[in-house]
Amino acid sequence: MDPASLIGLVMVLVGVFVGAIMKHVNPAALFTVPAAFLIVIAASIGAAMLSNTMDVAKKLMTYVIKGIKGQKPFDTSGTIDQIVGFAERARREGLLSLESELNTIDDEFFKRGLQLAIDGGDPEIVAEVMEADVKAMQERHKAGAKYMMSIGIFSPTFGIIGAVFGLIATMAHLDDPSKLGEGIGAAFVATFWGVFMANGIFLPISNKLSSMSAQEVAYKRMIIEGVLSIQAGANPRMLDDLLRSNLPPKERASDDRKSA
């Protein structure tokens, strides 16, 4: 699991439920109104499903798990070293000499792009094919992030609906004032769950999915730039400097010292 997800989730739970205790609210009371869960969770997910296709809707748990688990960090520095090494060999021995290196590439996107270049594809076509792959991936990622965001947007509204139902039920007991306090308290449990699930779970997961997508897009576009530069016979040293501009300054400086 991504440490940021774990720490963030723990901080959310501690902040909310320990804060409730400090406010003299028993957190256990929030779990005693099953109707609140039904109204908020089921209805919110249902509304989000209504807003999407079944292909997207059925991946709900996949998106949740991916958002919490995170993704393996990209070895950007290692990929740059590999690209620069290929550029050096291509300059010395020609582009076709890289055919034997394809099996050393773990990234399928990189391997496919380099294969297109080795096969003599027009640079514009190579760029177009690789960019189309990136855009298709972006759309898939966008669908997941949007789905999570939809649930997060709908949750507070259904929480209010749950509170309205609770108040309607409480109004039926106006002749018994002893039940009014308990009834009003129970009515707002649905509102709590709607706001909590939206801001503590679904919207953060949506943001996480968008952030991971942006990182992967940047990584793949760096690969596109590298493949096209290899195909064009770019100077390896200049290519190294160009690609390392994608790294954070501290990592860039570390790599410079290593190569010196």
pLDDT for the residue numbered 8: 92
Higher pLDDT among residues 184 and 191, named by residue: 191
Query: Considering the chain, what percentage of its residues have pLDDT values greater than 90?
Result: 57
Instruction: Assign 182 a pLDDT band (cuts: 50, 70, 90).
Output: low
Least confident of 95-99, 171-175, 231-235: 171-175
pLDDT of residue 230 exceeding 50, the answer is yes
Q: How confident is the model over 130-145, as a mean pLDDT? A: 95
Q: How far apart are CA 154 and CA 172, in angstroms?
A: 28
pLDDT per position as a tens digit, 7-29:
999 999 999 999 989 988 888 88
Instruction: Assign 59 a pLDDT band (cuts: 50, 70, 90).
Output: very high
Q: How confident is the model over 96-114, as a mean pLDDT? A: 91
- 94 torsion bin: left (phi>0), alpha (psi -120 to 50), beta (else): left
pLDDT of residue 176 exceeding 80, the answer is no
Cα separation of the two ends of the chain: 36
Q: How confident is the model over 187-211, as a mean pLDDT? A: 93
Higher pLDDT among residues 13 and 259, named by residue: 13
Q: What is the pTM of this model?
A: 0.83
pLDDT of residue 255 exceeding 60, the answer is no
Q: How confident is the model over 120-136, as a mean pLDDT? A: 93
Q: Where are the domains of the chain?
A: 35-68+75-94+101-260
Q: How far apart are CA 217 and CA 134, in angstroms?
A: 7
pLDDT of residue 185 exceeding 80, the answer is no
Instruction: Report phi then psi at 7, rounded to 5.
Output: -65, -45
b/e per residue 156-185 (b: at least 16 CB within 10 A): bebbbbbbeebeeebeeeeeeeeeeeebee
CA nearest to 65, candidates 192, 205, 194: 205
